[in-house]
Structure 1
């Protein structure tokens, strides 16, 4: 399994306090009104410091006994492993039994296609107006994309994340809408590229380069 890394260097003195750098792994479904992305990876990085995030493409299912609300933290109450290449792990059923929610492997699953994961809400899931709940897809153990649940809903998640980085006041797993964030930088992990370095410059702009040993004093690719 390929390991990915992102080295972040903070050379900015313009941001007040101690900024939190957040990486967002936006799935296509989060570009619609049906789902939200999260601050998937977060770290406070003081001016002059660097930090390296590392991850693998390891998917999972998760659920929460609360709905989705932008800027609030999404907290998982249960999880299952997921594998888009496995007929046994490409789909899950979200159910409600004996006063508690239950996420379980689906008994009838679509044919795995390596690109998508499915969650089906049973008819027993309460309406959001009665008891809010939500389901999500995790990447490397952290929620990446979440959606409100409800009776008889089907959620299809396409596993082609677009990565972004942003700096500001963020908490781990905070629900965000990438379209409304300012000063984001897209991170392109092209074929064969597994590591990037990104610098927040003293002009409060982003520079990105391949590799993890980039010199922040050297001009980088915009």
Structure 2
């Protein structure tokens, strides 16, 4: 597991982490006087497994137009489902910066024991962060300058971060969505355009995906609704529809 920074020279005051991403992760309370933010719109997807076998239902997003060519998709939300069973996913479009100790980032490995920091692509004060390695500890630190344009989420990788050790990315609703290798000196600007996809098979939440190898996927086009249904049939094909009011 990555260190949780309790004794790091990168003190709790410097870290931007605002919530615990996993059991035992460092949680830093919001600053006094931080304005309350209105609740974001909640999306719902009800998925039914009508195939003949137990499968993990997996939601993911594709890195098309993300602006970071080396970014990889992660198994964002997952749930097990026996034949005939239904699972429900809910989320809101609340972004975060995420990082994990992954070694070389490649498909099939888990993006695990991750930590996060609050992010907002439409707020010039919260749309970028730095990522550093100091005194044996990794973590988010304040970014230098204000070069990330609105609509983007920027991560400045400081030169002291060792090669092929950690990965950084962005999450949605407190779960990692995309990750890229933390290359020392790189400035990664993620420009999210959420599009949601569903698949089924054997998946672990946070697993790095090779989306080119996924064959039974279906897009979930929300359009003017916030509630959708997806049914996996006996031939392992999806039927997607809006929830009837």
Give your verdict on TM over 0.5: yes
Q: TM-score range by the shorter chain?
A: 0.7 to 0.9
Deviations 1:146-189 (A, max 9, x none): 00012101111111022111110100111102122111111112
Task: Please say if 1:102 is aligned against 2:139.
Answer: yes
Deviation of the 1:111 alpha carbon? 5.4
Deviation of the 1:32 alpha carbon? 7.2
Higher strand share goes to which structure?
1
Task: Please say if 1:4 is aligned against 2:43.
Answer: yes
Aligned with residue 170 of structure 2, among 137, 140, 157: 137
- Aligned-CA RMSD value: 1.9
Distance 1:171 1:29, change over 3 A: farther
Task: Please say if 1:20 is aligned against 2:52.
Answer: no
- TM-score normalised over the length of structure 1: 0.86
Structure 2 counterparts to residues 146-185 of structure 1, below 5 A: 146-185=179-218
Q: Secondary structure at the match of 1:175?
A: coil
Aligned with residue 120 of structure 2, among 54, 59, 83: 83
Aligned with residue 100 of structure 2, among 61, 64, 70: 64
Deviations 1:115-145 (A, max 9, x none): 21000101111122xxx11101011000000
Which residue does the alignment assign to 2:29? none
Deviation beyond 3 Å, 4+ runs, structure 1: 29-33
Note the residue ranges of structure 1 that are not aligned, 5 or more in a row: 214-222
Which residue does the alignment assign to 1:187? 220
Deviation of the 1:112 alpha carbon? 4.5
Distance 1:212 1:12, change over 3 A: farther
Note the residue ranges of structure 2 that are not aligned, 5 or more in a row: 1-39
Contact 1:29 1:157 in 2 (8 A): no
> How many aligned positions are there?
205
Which residue does the alignment assign to 2:233? 201
Deviations 1:83-106 (A, max 9, x none): 111111100001111111121231
- Paired with 1:93 and 1:193, the residues of 2 have a C-alpha distance of 36
